[in-house]
Amino acid sequence: MQKDTFRIVTRGTDGQIRIRDYPDQNALLKRHTQIGVDDCSTDLELRGLPVFRGLIGPIPEGVNVIRYESPAVFETLTKQWSTAKTPRRSRKRSQTAN
């Protein structure tokens, strides 16, 4: 499936995360200044997509969403992700007969 939704994630003046979806690349180009194209993404569907001034991305999100984040949101979410504790799994111990 082709990625067809462009999502911009920023932080409002009140500190809340704001998410705005655009139906296509042209709608996004009307609001943001393109400074290049992505030519090194490991997700091949993202290669050739625009890179915008003041936004980090493109980043794959789900099956059909292309995400761009403001630097502040990127930093906050990366810190949350890196400090999230994953539950430890305990090994099954075999019972030995004595």
Q: What is the pLDDT along the chain (98 residues), one digit of tens a residue?
A: 567 789 999 988 888 889 999 988 888 889 999 999 998 888 888 888 999 999 998 998 888 899 999 988 888 877 777 777 777 777 777 666 65
DSSP for the chain reads ----EEEEEEE-TTS-EEEEEESSHHHHHTTS-EEEE----SSGGGTT-EEETT-EEEEEETTTEEEEE-HHHHHHHHHHHHHPPPPPPPPP-PPPP-
Domain ranges of the chain: 5-81
